[in-house]
Chain A
Amino acid sequence: MDAQVETATRELSYAQAIQEAMAIAMERDERVFLMGEDIGVYGGAFQVTGDLVERFGTDRVMDTPISELGGAGVAVGAAVTGMRPIFEFQFSDFATLAMEQIVNQAAKMRYMLGGAVSVPVVMRFPAGSGTGAAAQHSQSLEAWLGHVPGLKVIQPATPHDVKGMLLAAIEDPDPVMIYEHKLLYKMKGEVPEGYYTVPIGKAEVRREGADLTIVATSIMVHKALDAAKQLAEEDIDVEVIDLRTIRPMDRQTIIDSVCKTSRLMCVYEGVKTLGVGAEISAMIAESEAFDYLDAPVVRLGGAETPIPYNPELEKATVPQVDGIVKAARDLVTGAR
């Protein structure tokens, strides 16, 4: 499945890559349509849908009222009955209003009905801090949904992956929740033209290393890679794994890496306690990799606080490159 027809590549932003994926999907399959608040002429709060309404019309790029619960439920109902809706939450925080439809309906309908239906809905969640939008527009609640069987939850970190994984999500017969860090929208990267998919449920080793495994999600992949570069100058050789999917989690890639490096650090923006890193740590503790560990596992996650407004406070809330460098150095040199 992976990158079947990769042709020429060119540089696109993460937001452009999403838009291109949605356009390709709509061209390929008339069942695909977009729903969300102000995704039409406005182009979406982050200009991800942009001018798609001009190409595809208001029937396929549907502005919804400000009704997150109802809108998400309409997408679920359309998916169950044969359409392929892509529902955009304006901010991932607003999805808290729609938890009923996501958690009780979309995730469980196939199971409750003994396999009689499937729910091929895609929901997009612009998430994360760093925009000065404060506590109700900056959260990273992907672990909430990662806790729910029946959902698939992905966090692509690059323009290449977000296009391929979104196309995979649209093809997927089950509900896929895609968490997009808002600071990634403007990030540029090489993106193949045309149709290709990047599989859901496969982590990617972004940098090979021998001394320490860092498993990072979303924007933290880039911070971890920056940290790894700095650490290389100190002869600390870091392996960076981009988790890409938090449910279903690619356990084997992490286990194999930890068996090799004997050290594990998890870096994620969501609140540290009960977050994605807790699951990775526990999974390693239960696995054959546990015997290989030379040091305790380290988690770097979000602070136990709402996201504050002040830029310095906001930065201090989530892991930064300096913090990753220091924690990794301490872990490898046994200073902790």
Chain B
Amino acid sequence: MSATAKKGAAKKDGANQPFIYRHYDQEKLRDALRKMYLIRQFEEGAEESYMRGLIHGTMHLSIGQEASAVGICLGLTDEDQITSTHRGHGHCIAKGADVSRMFAEFFGKITGYCRGRGGSMHIADVSTGNLGANGIVGGGLPIAVGAALTAKKMKTGNVVVCFFGDGANNEGAFHEALNMAAIWKLPVIFVCENNGYGMSTSVARATAVPNIADRASAYAMPGVIVDGNVVSDVAEAMHEATERARNGEGPTLIECKTYRYRGHSKSDRNRYRTKEEIEEWMTERDPIEAFESQLMEFGVIDQKGIEDIRESVRKEIEAGIEFAKESPMPEVANLEKYVYTEQA
């Protein structure tokens, strides 16, 4: 993959540091690493809680995809909005949500972001600009375009990021949404997290073009392919797309090539991919390890700093789970609350 080669080249040439080292201060970069750990440990904590029966239903883990969530959200403000997917925990955290309230939601508690009505698949934090994960593949695509229409009409200067997976690129909603965003030149960035599989069906078997980004040409917008496991590459593509969007030049499609370590959901027996393939991504291309070594290489952090981050994240996760456990359940008497807006 060309993106991987680019990454190698950037490392050798110290004078020409990768994008994020030129563009963001060191504290921001350390915070990005912390966010990646927060996502990873949040999902491990959620998985463990699920195994222990504290969380019911199902969940879709994005472990292995942290660089894309964090790289995309790095330059966004709380006013910039995102729509997310069924694999959306990472997006929610990267956008700034509090893991305690996320855990509380997963535990079905009233203190959760959705007051126990949404769970993992509808996790959202509107206060930090996350309009919500979505249980329908492609469901968020037109909604993101609508949010971008609002931004344009109200002249807010904000951008909207629409996360979706490789599976969604074969939904009609994808094509309708990209077309409308393009004809109206809306400030939206379509971010495809291509983890290789829509549930069990590989991209090669499901999609007629080799890259999802190739679809962009049909809608007259730039289609950019990046190594979705390299924070700087993701952030750089996102930065260019954001500038373009804020300048009124319209949407961009960014394809982040990445991989999910876990199965599609909790019912997955992993019969459609090999152990070797999973192993290779985990050991050779882990996004957190790669980012850590790069941060150390450029002197942004040392081993002690990394350990401090891991420890503080561990504590935050522990406290989050504790908060969720101790929070009260919603009252059954309020079952119908929030179906409609309460009116005076």
Residues in chain A within 8 A of chain B (CB atoms): 33, 59, 64-65, 67, 69-83, 85, 100-101, 104-105, 109-118, 149-150, 152, 173-174
- A315 to B288 CA separation, bound complex (whole angstroms): 68
State the 5 A-B residue pairs at the shortest beta-carbon distance, nearest first: A77-B146, A73-B142, A70-B176, A114-B115, A77-B143
Shortest CB-to-CB span from A98 to chain B, Å, is 9
Chain A contacts of B132 at CB under 8 A? 109, 112-113
Q: Evaluate whether A71 and B180 lie within 8 angstroms (CB atoms) in the complex, with A112-B117, A113-B124 already known.
A: yes
Whether A111 and B338, one on each chain, are in contact in the complex, defined by CB atoms closer than 8 angstroms, is: yes
26 residue pairs A–B, Cβ–Cβ below 8 Å = A65-B179, A67-B180, A69-B142, A69-B176, A70-B175, A70-B179, A73-B142, A73-B146, A74-B180, A77-B83, A77-B131, A81-B81, A81-B150, A85-B146, A104-B135, A104-B136, A110-B340, A112-B117, A112-B118, A116-B114, A116-B124, A117-B126, A117-B131, A149-B339, A150-B339, A174-B340
Chain B contacts of A109 at CB under 8 A? 132
Q: Mark B123-141, 1 if CB is under 8 A from A, else 0.
A: 0101000011011100101
Chain B contacts of A83 at CB under 8 A? 149-150, 153-154
- A181 to B143 CA separation, bound complex (whole angstroms): 29
Shortest CB-to-CB span from B329 to chain A, Å, is 13
- A296 to B113 CA separation, bound complex (whole angstroms): 49
Chain A contacts of B142 at CB under 8 A? 69-74, 76-77, 101
Q: A111-B338, A114-B116 are in contact. List 20 more A-B contacts (CB 8 A).
A: A65-B176, A70-B173, A71-B180, A73-B146, A74-B177, A77-B142, A78-B153, A80-B143, A81-B151, A82-B154, A83-B150, A105-B139, A112-B124, A112-B132, A113-B118, A113-B132, A116-B114, A118-B341, A173-B341, A174-B340
Chain A contacts of B336 at CB under 8 A? 149
Whether B139 and A100, one on each chain, are in contact in the complex, defined by CB atoms closer than 8 angstroms, is: yes
Q: Evaluate whether A77 and B149 lie within 8 angstroms (CB atoms) in the complex, with A70-B142, A110-B338, A117-B131 already known.
A: yes
Whether B339 and A78, one on each chain, are in contact in the complex, defined by CB atoms closer than 8 angstroms, is: no
Whether A111 and B145, one on each chain, are in contact in the complex, defined by CB atoms closer than 8 angstroms, is: no
| The residue from B143, B149, B341, B343 contacting A105, defined by CB atoms under 8 A apart | B143
Chain B contacts of A115 at CB under 8 A? 115, 337-338
Does B319 sit within 8 A of A, measured CB to CB?
A: no
Within 8 A of A (CB), among B131-188: 131-132, 134-136, 139, 141-151, 153-154, 172-173, 175-177, 179-180, 183
Nearest CB in chain A to that of B178: its residue:
A70
Shortest CB-to-CB span from B236 to chain A, Å, is 27
Most buried by A among B132, B151, B179: B132
Does B320 sit within 8 A of A, measured CB to CB?
A: no
Whether B173 and A78, one on each chain, are in contact in the complex, defined by CB atoms closer than 8 angstroms, is: no
Whether A110 and B180, one on each chain, are in contact in the complex, defined by CB atoms closer than 8 angstroms, is: no
Shortest CB-to-CB span from A231 to chain B, Å, is 38
Whether A73 and B343, one on each chain, are in contact in the complex, defined by CB atoms closer than 8 angstroms, is: no
Nearest CB in chain B to that of A82: its residue:
B150
Shortest CB-to-CB span from B142 to chain A, Å, is 2
Whether A73 and B126, one on each chain, are in contact in the complex, defined by CB atoms closer than 8 angstroms, is: no
Nearest CB in chain A to that of B117: its residue:
A114
Chain B contacts of A82 at CB under 8 A? 150, 154
Chain B contacts of A105 at CB under 8 A? 134, 136, 139, 143
Chain A contacts of B134 at CB under 8 A? 105
- A101 to B145 CA separation, bound complex (whole angstroms): 13
- A137 to B321 CA separation, bound complex (whole angstroms): 54
Does B88 sit within 8 A of A, measured CB to CB?
A: no
Most buried by A among B134, B143, B144, B153: B143
Nearest CB in chain B to that of A68: its residue:
B176
Nearest CB in chain A to that of B146: its residue:
A77
Most buried by A among B142, B145, B146, B153: B146
Chain B contacts of A116 at CB under 8 A? 113-114, 124, 126
Whether B343 and A76, one on each chain, are in contact in the complex, defined by CB atoms closer than 8 angstroms, is: no
Whether B172 and A69, one on each chain, are in contact in the complex, defined by CB atoms closer than 8 angstroms, is: yes
Most buried by B among A74, A150, A174: A74
| The residue from A71, A78, A113 contacting B147, defined by CB atoms under 8 A apart | A78
- A161 to B338 CA separation, bound complex (whole angstroms): 28
